[in-house]
């Protein structure tokens, strides 16, 4: 894989992950009702993925349990194909994520990035920061009361 391809793959992985983690309603609101024409290659389908952990956090894999996932693949009129695998059971979420994945590979990527992905990323960062800040406030500060020295 060339460097350009690696960068393109990394970018695509980043937006697909962001879309998968997005609140379905928020994604729908940002994307708006005016969706581009598309053909479904794989209609939104609800299923499960087996989540694996590692023994001791670093050893061999084991099957922890499943999570619900919805997937969708579609093709824009221009022939560009979009895929989505998103957590949960929301078919519209999967279809909209696949649409954004397709649009990000077209000339509209700058607009979609600004209108949909940037707000989703900013809101996600804010959500994560709020939790991290609350956790930080519960960090223990130890005070040495008495040091047992002779």
Partner 1 sequence: MYVAVKGGERAIDNAHAWLAEERRGDPAVPALGLDQIAGQLALAVNRVMAEGSLFDRGLAALAIKQARGDLIEAIFLIRAYRTTLPRFGASVPVDTAGMACIRRISATFKDAPGGQVLGPTFDYTHRLLDFALAAEGAVPEAPQAEPQPGPVPHVTGFLGRDGMIEPAEFTGAEPRDLTREPLSLPADRALRLQALARGDEGFVLGLAYSTQRGYGRTHAFVGELRIGTVGVEIEIPELGFAVEIGEVELTECETVNQFKGSRTEPPQFTRGYGLTFGQTERKAIAMSLVDRALRWRELGEDDTGAPAQDEEFVLSHCDNIQATGFLEHIKLPHYVDFQSELELVRKLRAEAEQARAARKAAE
Partner 2 sequence: MDSAALQGGFADPPVESARAFRAVLDAMARPGTIRRVTGAAPPAPLSVAAGVLLLVLTDRTTPVWLAPSHDHADVRDWIAFQTGAPIAAPGGAAFALGDWAGLRPPGRFPTGTPDYPDRSVTLIVEQTVLRAEGARLTGPGIAGAAALNLPETAAFAENRARFPLGFDCYFTAGERLAALPRSTRVEAG
Residues contacting 120, CB < 8 A, separation 6+: 18, 19, 22, 26, 27, 30
Alpha carbon of residue 35 to chain centroid: 20
How far apart CA 17 and CA 15 sit, in angstroms, is 5
**Is residue 146 close enough to count as binding partner 1 by CB under 8 A?**
no
Asked if 145 is part of the footprint of partner 1 (rule: CB under 8 A), the reply reads no
Piece of the chain touching partner 1 by CB under 8 A; list 11-19, 26-34, 106-114, 115-123 = 11-19
- Say how far apart CA 104 and CA 99 lie, in whole Å: 9
For residues 95 and 27, give the distance between their C-alpha atoms in angstroms, rounded to a whole number: 11
Among 7, 35, 40, 68, which residue interacts with partner 1 (rule: CB under 8 A)?
A: 68
Which one of partner 2, partner 1, none interacts with residue 78, CB within 5 to 8 A by kind?
none
Query: Can residue 139 be called a binding residue for partner 1 (CB under 8 A)?
Result: yes
* Residue 24 C-beta: closest distance to partner 2, Å: 22
Residue partners of 1: CB distance under 8 A and separation at least 6: 9
Of residues 52, 84, 83, 86, the one with CA closest to residue 69:
86
Rule CB under 8 A: is residue 125 a binding residue for partner 1? Answer: no
Considering CB distances under 5 to 8 angstroms, the limit depending on partner class, which of partner 1, partner 2, none binds residue 75? Answer: partner 2
Check binding of 75 to partner 2 (CB under 8 A): yes
Per rule CB under 8 A, is residue 75 in the interface with partner 1? no
* Nearest-5° Cα angle at 90, 28 to 30: 10
Comparing CB distances to partner 2, the nearer of 49 and 130 is 49
Footprint of partner 1 on this chain (CB under 8 A)? 9, 12-13, 16-17, 20-21, 45-69, 71, 73, 83, 85-89, 128-140, 142
């Amino acid at each position: 894989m060339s460097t350009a391809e690696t960068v393109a793959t990394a970018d695509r992985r980043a937006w697909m992950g962001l879309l998968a983690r997005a609140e379905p309603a928020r994604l729908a609101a940002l994307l708006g009702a005016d969706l581009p024409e598309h053909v479904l290659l794989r209609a939104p389908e609800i299923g499960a993925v087996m989540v694996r952990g590692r023994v001791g956090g670093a050893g061999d894999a084991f099957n922890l349990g499943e999570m619900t996932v919805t997937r969708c693949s579609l093709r824009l009129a221009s022939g560009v194909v979009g895929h989505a695998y998103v957590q949960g059971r929301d078919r519209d979420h999967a279809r909209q994520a696949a649409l954004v994945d397709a649009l990000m590979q077209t000339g509209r990527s700058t607009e979609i990035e600004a209108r949909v992905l940037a707000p989703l990323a900013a809101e996600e960062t804010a959500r994560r920061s709020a939790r991290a800040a609350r956790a930080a406030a519960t960090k223990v500060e130890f005070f040495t009361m008495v040091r047992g020295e002779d």
